[in-house]
Chain A
Amino acid sequence: MSAPARSRAAPRTGRPGPLWALPGALFFGVFAVLPMLLVAYLSFTHWNGLGTPAFAGLDNWTRLAGDPLMHRAAGLSLLLTVSSWAIQTPISLLLGVWSAGRQRGRAFLSAVFFLPLLLSSAAVAIVWRALLDPNFGPLAWAGPALGLGSLDPLGSGGSAFWVIVAVAAWQFIPLHMLLYQGGARQIPATLYQAARIDGAGRLGMFWHITLPQLRNTITTSSVLMVVGSLTYFDTVLIMTDGGPGTDTTIVPYLMFRAGFRSWELGYAGAIAFTLVVVATLIALVMVRLTGFGSMRSTREGL
C-alpha cells in the first residue's frame, strides 16, 4: 500500500484521533478482556460468590488435574468436537458446493435450508427434546406404531450423547453450508473451463479445483466448529442437563455446574480458564497450519 507516503502529503484534518476508538475499546475491555484476567485470578482462589475470594494457591488446579469428572468431561468434549467436525464438514461442504451451482430449484432449496438458522439454540434444543420425549412426544406414538416398544434416546447414557451430536449437526450444518456456498461462488469459472478443456470429470474438478480453492473456507468453518463444540452449552443444559448421570457432562456444562449450582466459583474459574486457553490454542494452531493467518490468496497469479 502506498497509503503511508500519501497520508503525510494529504491534509490531516479528516483523520480521526485515537479517541474515536476509545469507547468501543473500553467497552470491550470491561466486558470481555477484564473477565479473561479475572477468570485467571479466580482460579487461584476459593469463593462462593459472597464476601471476598480467599487465596487458595494451586488448590483448584490440583483438584482439576485429579478430578475424574473433569477427565470424563474433557474426553466427552473431545469426542463431541471430533465427531461434530467429522459429520458436519463433509455434509456442509458437499451441500454448500452443490447449492452454489445453477440447478433448477436451487434458490428455493437454499431458502429452505436456511430455516433452522432462524431458531435459537434454546428453541432447537426444546423442539428436539419435545420430539424425543418418551411419554408425551412423537416417540410414544412411533414406538408402538413401529413395534419397537418404548423409545427413550435421551434417557439412556449410550444414546443421549449421540443425540446431542446429531442435534448439533442439524443446527449448525446450515450455517457452514452457507459459508461453503459463499466460498464456492468465489471460485473463478475460468478454472473449471480450463479443466474441462483438459478433459477433467466432475470428480476430478471437485478434487483438484474446488477443494484446494476452498482451503480458507475450510479453515474458517473448522475453527468455528471446533470452538463452537468446545463451548457447546445451551443444548446440553436444555436437553439432558448433563445426564443421564454425567453421560453428557461436557466441559462447559461442568463449569456451569461448578459455578452456578455448587457456587465454587474458583474451581469453575479454573475450568473456564482451561477452556479459553485450549480454544485459543486450537484456533491459533489451525490458522497457522493452514496459512490462513497470512490471508494468502488462493488465487495468486490469476
Chain B
Amino acid sequence: MRSVVDERTPASGRRTAPPPRRPGTAGRVRHRGVGERPNLLGGLGALAWLAVVVLPLYALVIATFQRGENYVPEGPLAPPSDPTLGNYATAVDKGLLGFIGNTALVTVGVVALVVVLAATTSFAVVRSRTRLTDTAFRMFLLGLAIPAQAVIIPVYVIIVRLELYDTLAAIVLPTAAFALPVCVLILVGSMRDISEELYEAMALDGAGPVRTFWRLVVPMSRSGLGTVAVYSALQAWNGFLFPLILTQSSDRRVITMGLYEFQGEYRVDVPGLLTAVVLSTVPLFLVYLVARRSLADGLMGVGGK
C-alpha cells in the first residue's frame, strides 16, 4: 500500500539512470568500508534465515518425487529411495492444468483491465487540473485502506445482482478493482517524472490528449506500467478470497481453489498435495527467473493481502 509512495524514488531512480545496478553499488550503501571487518553476526543471522527459508522449500520439492507410502517412513528430508514422477501425473489427471488455465485467463483479464484503467486514470490525475480528478485521486488514496476481506459480503451481493456469480468475470472485476489504488499510485509517480518540457513540446506539435498519451506518456512510463502489470498479475494469480466466495463449480476453479479442494481429498497423500502446490507455482517461478527485478518492484506494491 503505502510502500509504493516510499519505493517510488528508487524505482524512478532506476529508470532515469540507465545502467541499473551500478549507481546503487558505486555511490550508495557502504556499510562496509575498506579495511572494515566483515559483519560476522549479520552473516550468521542471514545463514540462519536461509535455513528457515530453504528447509521447508526443500522438503516441499523433494516430497513431490516421493511415493505416498514411503513418505512417512523415510522422513521429509531424505532423498526418496525410489523416486517417481507419479505424483505429477496424478495432479495433471486431477485437472490441475485446467485450474491453471482458468487462473491464466483471470490473470490476463485483471492485468488488461488494471493497466488500461490505471494508466488513463493516472494520466488524468497528473495532467488534468480539475477538482474532479483531485477527488478521484483522493478516493483512490482512501481506497488503499479498504481491506478486501471487510467488503467481501457486499461484493458478493453486487456480483450476484450483476448475474456474474460463478463466472471467471466475477473474480476478475473485484480483483482488478482492489489492485487499482496501488497501481494508480505507482503510475502517478512515474508520470510525474515526465518533464513539463516534453508535454509542452507535444502541445506545440498540436497533439491532443490521445496522442500525448500514446506518444509520450505510455512510452515514458513503461517501467511503471511493467510494475503495475506484475503487481496485478501476482494479485490475480495468488488471489484466494474472491474465488472462494464468488465461484463454486469445478470448471470455474482457479489454482488456489484447486489447492484448497485438493487439501480435503489428499488428506492422507501429503506428497500428492505438495506436488499440486509445486505445479501451481511453476508459472510464477518461470517469470521470476526472467524478470526478478520487476517482480520485486511489483511485490513492494503488495499490501498484506
Contacts and interface: CB of A to CB of B under 8 A. Distances in A.
Given A91-B49, A223-B2, A234 B240 contact: yes
A18 B130 contact: yes
Interface stretch (A56-64, A67-75, A156-164, A173-181): A173-181
Contact of B147 (A10, A33, A227): A227
A263 to B, nearest CB: 10
A29 B130 contact: no
B274 interface: yes
Nearest to A286: B2
B154 A34 contact: yes
Contact of A39 (B151, B206, B277): B151
Interface residues of A, number: 129
A174 B25 CA distance: 21
Contacts of A94: 42, 45
Given A21-B136, A189-B27, A36 B281 contact: no
Q: How large is the interface on B (under 10, 10 to 19, 20 to 34, 35 or more residues)?
A: 35 or more
Where chain A touches its partner, the secondary structure class is helix
The listed residue with most B CB atoms (<10 A of its CB), out of A35, A138, A229, A276, is: A35
A172 B52 contact: no
A113 to B, nearest CB: 6
Contacts of B263: 126, 129, 238
Interface stretch (B86-94, B104-112, B175-183, B218-226): B175-183
Contacts of B127: 14-16
B153 A259 contact: yes
A31 B178 contact: yes
Contact of A27 (B28, B180, B199): B180
Please give me the 8 A-B residue pairs with the lowest Cβ-Cβ distance, nearest first: A228-B304, A24-B121, A120-B238, A31-B177, A38-B154, A35-B154, A138-B76, A20-B124
12 contacts: A13-B207, A19-B124, A21-B133, A28-B139, A49-B157, A95-B46, A121-B238, A131-B59, A138-B75, A174-B53, A228-B305, A265-B153
Interface of A: 3-4, 6-7, 10-21, 23-25, 27-36, 38-39, 42, 49, 91, 94-95, 97-103, 109, 111-123, 126-131, 133, 135-138, 140-142, 145, 170, 172-175, 178-179, 182-189, 192-193, 196, 202, 205, 216-217, 219-221, 223-225, 227-234, 237-238, 252, 255-256, 259-260, 265, 268-269, 272-273, 275-276, 279-280, 283-284, 287, 292, 295
Given A130-B270, A185-B10, A189-B30, 18 more contacts: A4-B129, A15-B127, A16-B120, A18-B136, A20-B124, A23-B120, A27-B173, A27-B176, A32-B181, A39-B153, A120-B238, A135-B268, A178-B296, A184-B29, A185-B28, A187-B28, A238-B260, A255-B150
Interface of B: 1-3, 5-7, 9-10, 24-25, 27-33, 36, 38-39, 42-43, 45-46, 49-50, 52-54, 56-57, 59-60, 71-77, 113, 117-118, 120-121, 123-125, 127-130, 132-133, 136-137, 139-140, 143, 145-155, 157-158, 173-174, 176-178, 180-181, 184, 196, 199-200, 202-204, 206-209, 212-213, 237-241, 244-245, 255-256, 259-260, 262-263, 267-270, 273-274, 277, 280-281, 284-285, 288, 292, 295-296, 299-300, 302-305
